[in-house]
Amino acid sequence: MKKIAVILAGCGVYDGAEINEAVLTLLHIAKAGASYQCFAPDIEQLHTINHLNGEQMTPNRNVLVEAARIARGDIKALTLLDANNFDALIVPGGFGAAKNLCDFAIKGTQAKLNPEILRAAKAFANAKKPAGYMCIAPAMIPLIYSAGVKTTIGNDLDTANALQSLGAQHIDCAVDDIVIDEQHKLVSTPAYMLAQSILDADAGIKKLVTNVLAMS
């Protein structure tokens, strides 16, 4: 059975992992007959957002504790992720990917990755193991892979230009499609960067999971 590591950025579209993207990812991994283990960094979130009114809340929350809500408690600290024990990596989106896993949401083209994310993601890349990134999570790709790596965040011009500035080759992509970089065994899909419904998001996520598993 293939084993997939899934990295979550918290719980909730505005400050953590996008819940639908995360659940659909886990569902399609399981439906394909593979297994998964969720991980998250044991750090404070950038901030905590009230998802009802969009306002910032106090006290702030912990990324690992929040991500455990999605994983039903079956989650490990990112420090424990060893790429040698897995066949592939998948990273759902949500603003937490650009706020907690890296600081792209704040610093744009000056962005840096959380050190544990960098270690874990680079381990998969260096081992030539496949990986999938969705929604805004592909903003991390040029900080992990070599210049010219192919990826997508959909078709948002400003974000695409920022990825190009960081060294990626951005390819416009429809919500129900994926971009594959064969050389790097890398798959990306826009998901809720473009999705207007859970069905929209599901179409691309299913293709991403299917192709990541096929490469592993």
Close Cβ partners of 70 (under 8 Å, ≥ 6 residues apart) = 8, 11, 17, 19, 22, 23, 38
Interatomic CA distance for residues 109 and 45, integer angstroms: 21
Looking at residue 134, its pLDDT comes to: 98
pTM of the full structure: 0.97
Looking at residue 164, its pLDDT comes to: 94
Looking at residue 182, its pLDDT comes to: 97
Looking at residue 78, its pLDDT comes to: 98
Interatomic CA distance for residues 192 and 203, integer angstroms: 11
Which residue's structure tokens are 């990917």? 97
In the predicted model, residues of the chain with pLDDT beneath 50 are none
With b for 16 or more beta-carbon neighbours within 10 A and e for fewer, the 156-176 pattern comes to beebbebbeebebebbebebb
**Residue 30 three-state SS:** helix
**Residue 180 three-state SS:** strand
β-pairing verdict for 88-91 and 3-7: parallel
Identify whether the C-beta of residue 141 lies closer than 8 Å to the C-beta of residue 102: no
| Cα dihedral sign, 12-13-15-17 | positive
Identify whether the C-beta of residue 121 lies closer than 8 Å to the C-beta of residue 132: no
Give domain limits for the chain. Answer: 3-215
Q: What is the pLDDT of residues 141-197, one digit of tens each?
A: 999 999 899 999 999 999 999 999 999 999 999 999 999 999 999 999 999 999 999
Task: State whether CATH 3.40.50.880 applies to domain 3-215.
Answer: yes
Type of residue numbered 114: N
What positions carry a catalytic annotation? 135
Which residue's structure tokens are 């840096």? 112
